[in-house]
Structure 1
Amino acid sequence: MLQLSNMPFKKSLALSPLEERAKINELHASLGTMTEVESKFCTDACLHRYLIATNWSKKKAGKMIKDTLKWRDLYKPQHVEWEEISKEAEAGKIYRANFRDRNGRTVLVMRPGVENTGNLEGQLRYLVFCMENAITNLPPDQEQMVWLVDFEGWNMSMIPLKTAREIANVLQNHYPERLAYAILYNPPKVVEVFWNVIRPFLDPSTQKKVKFVYANDEGGQKLMESLFDLDMLECAFGGRNRCKFNKDDYVVSMKKDNGKPV
């Protein structure tokens, strides 16, 4: 298993609810006049997430939000059409699960071992589509989602460095604090090695979100049972649900979410 690093970290600020409220108000004021679309995006919950991601720095959070607003204006992630990314979705490399965790949060299943295209832009568009869809399907009391990553059939050569860098950039800079936790299920040894390399550069709160779970480890299975209803959880992740990704069923579901006729 992974060993904790001895490298010191900058401690995250712990603020009272009143202090958090003041920070959010200050950040709102610093953003100035916004368009209707920008105002709709910059909710209190949104600003709260950006402030947490920047350790409550109004300056850093403000810059980060403005960069995201520019990105969203150009990339228009909320308007990615199903027809654009349907090819990327066919293999089931990323999809919204038909179950939630015990807190009711949306679950994205990721299977990098079934990557079916070499189109970086298409892959990014599909990832963004899945992120936006997962957010739309969050219950009103939740801001974060869950990732379940199945490594069956995966090897490092399947994700070029350029692709990994672009994916990390989009997730880190434009979807901060959207992840509740990520389960890496039966990851190959190379993933642990890579994690040990990057872990010292991550905030402790981020570290805690990544959980390595192995099918033959009793502790890991107890963790899965504490997080999910095993009758609903796919058997690929230690659950009792034998249903597998069905492309046709998923098309119907996504078209409904996308406001398209089935």
Structure 2
Amino acid sequence: SDGHKPASPVPGAAWLAHAADLFGGLLGGCGAGCQGKDGCLVARASQRGAAVAPVLGSVVSFDQTPTWRDPPRSSKAPSLISGFSFDSHVSGMGLRPPSDWPESMRAALRELKALMAADDDFKRHQALGFCRDADLCRFLIARGGQPVPAARMLRQALRWRSKRMPYWLLSDPKSDVARSFEQHSRTGKVHVRGRDRFGRSIVTMDGSVENLWYGPEQLRFLAYNLEAALCECAEGVDKLTLIINLEALTLGQAPMFSIRETLEILQVGFPETLGTCVLWQPPAVFKTLLQLTKHLIDGKTLAKVVAVVGDSEAGSHNDQVMTQLFGDEWREATGMGMPRFERAHSMWFGREVWGARGYIHAPHWAQVL
């Protein structure tokens, strides 16, 4: 809207630097980014103290210091989920104003900002709406309130964000990014499905319906969905519920580099974001895969994993677990236990595959746009 367009789409860090140059000096005018052939990049007009973020079909504005509201607590804590607490599973400290934080955390925040003040990546991602106090708080909590380890983790996250760029608003269905993401969404391998009983956005993943080759675009698509899901949480909620359907898992289903970066995305790119992870019907081979990757998963993440194995009929233990997390209509809410409605050709498997359970592409993609 300010007349600036890149001559050609520039991926990755170069495009990030270009976008930051455009947005860094804005006092007014375009606060939503630069529309080019490669899609619409979303950035924060920091001078106005506002930001925009990618959401399924809309733009959400939020202040640099989020407004604190009590998270939805009409539901009791699920008695069948060991160790569940609202502070660690639903709504973290970062949503509260810093004035409500312990003095030790406020001091750690000041030190972390000082450590990152001269970092070019930090400045660039600030221009894109990241690195707010709430974001920095996540890194501090993940590293026990220690600024130096938190700074190391933040630098790693910023390198990843420069590489994958999750800040996309799919306002133009003909843009390169929108067309790429639409292809990736055909089978519902990663998609956002509303909220659970606690106001947390639900993200479902199913590697058995992979339809394209594994690569950078597939991982950027995952990052986009996580960023969008965070914006879809209820007010006062900053955690996600992740459901991974493993019923058709095989050892050769996903390459190790993809598994490694997926774990990096969840633990480093989006620290302190996971509320609950439901592993749906993991087969025996999953134990082998877990042994291969367990050293990559921190203990806090493992403590939030819930495995649903075996009978899920009404009245069963698994039915009660899912009801406590998602409500009586948990099958419709999560897609688990629902039929697979659509088929699509998979380049990865070299044949037609059924899509994700409960997923119908056309209405979902219309909602994304």
Q: TM-score w.r.t. structure 1 length?
A: 0.79
Question: Which amino acid in 2 is paired with 1:29?
Answer: A
Between Structure 1 and Structure 2, the one with more helix by share is 1
Measure, in 1, the Cα distance between the counterparts of 2:292 and 2:260. Answer: 15
Q: Following superposition of structure 1 onto structure 2, how do residues 247-262 of structure 1 map, counting pairs within 5 Å? A: 247-255=361-369
Q: What is the aligned partner in structure 1 of residue 358 from structure 2?
A: 244
Question: Which amino acid in 1 is paired with 2:195?
Answer: R
Measure, in 1, the Cα distance between the counterparts of 2:289 and 2:125. Answer: 39
Q: Against the structure 1 CA distance between its residues 117 and 207, is the aligned structure 2 distance closer, same or farther, given a 3 Å change threshold? A: same
Q: Structure 1 residue 68 and structure 2 residue 157: aligned?
A: yes
Q: What is the aligned partner in structure 1 of residue 114 from structure 2?
A: 29
Question: Which amino acid in 1 is paired with 2:183?
Answer: K
Match of 2:254 among 132, 151, 159: 159
> Displacement, 1:246?
0.9
Question: Which amino acid in 2 is paired with 1:211?
Answer: V
Match of 2:186 among 80, 90, 97: 90
Measure, in 1, the Cα distance between the counterparts of 2:307 and 2:126. Answer: 37
Percent identical among aligned pairs is 26
Flag the structure with larger Rg: 2
Q: Deviations over 1:175-214 (max 9, x none)?
A: 1121111100111012134335655775442221111112
Q: What is the aligned partner in structure 1 of residue 216 from structure 2?
A: 121
- Maintained 8 Å contact 1:95/1:130: yes
Q: What is the aligned partner in structure 1 of residue 126 from structure 2?
A: 38
- Maintained 8 Å contact 1:215/1:238: no
Q: Structure 1 residue 17 and structure 2 residue 102: aligned?
A: yes
Question: Which amino acid in 2 is paired with 1:64?
Answer: M
Measure, in 1, the Cα distance between the counterparts of 2:309 and 2:164. Answer: 38
> Displacement, 1:66?
2.7
Question: Which amino acid in 2 is paired with 1:46?
Answer: D
> Displacement, 1:168?
2.2
> Displacement, 1:237?
3.0
Aligned to 1:195, the other structure's residue is in SS state helix
Any stretches of 5+ residues in structure 2 without a counterpart? 1-100, 170-176, 342-356
- Maintained 8 Å contact 2:243/2:280: yes
- Maintained 8 Å contact 1:184/1:212: yes
Measure, in 2, the Cα distance between the counterparts of 1:119 and 1:199. Answer: 22
The RMSD of aligned alpha carbons is 2.8
Q: Against the structure 1 CA distance between its residues 111 and 71, is the aligned structure 2 distance closer, same or farther, given a 3 Å change threshold? A: closer
Measure, in 1, the Cα distance between the counterparts of 2:297 and 2:311. Answer: 28
Q: What is the aligned partner in structure 2 of residue 47 from structure 1?
A: 136
Q: Structure 1 residue 176 and structure 2 residue 290: aligned?
A: no
Q: What is the aligned partner in structure 2 of residue 222 from structure 1?
A: 320
Any stretches of 5+ residues in structure 1 without a counterpart? 1-15, 256-262
Question: Which amino acid in 2 is paired with 1:21?
Answer: R
Q: Against the structure 1 CA distance between its residues 196 and 223, is the aligned structure 2 distance closer, same or farther, given a 3 Å change threshold? A: farther
Q: What is the aligned partner in structure 2 of residue 8 from structure 1?
A: none
Match of 1:207 among 299, 302, 320: 302
- Maintained 8 Å contact 2:263/2:296: no
Question: Which amino acid in 2 is paired with 1:24?
Answer: L
- Maintained 8 Å contact 1:106/1:134: yes
Aligned to 1:134, the other structure's residue is in SS state helix
Measure, in 1, the Cα distance between the counterparts of 2:181 and 2:335. Answer: 25
Q: TM-score w.r.t. structure 2 length?
A: 0.58
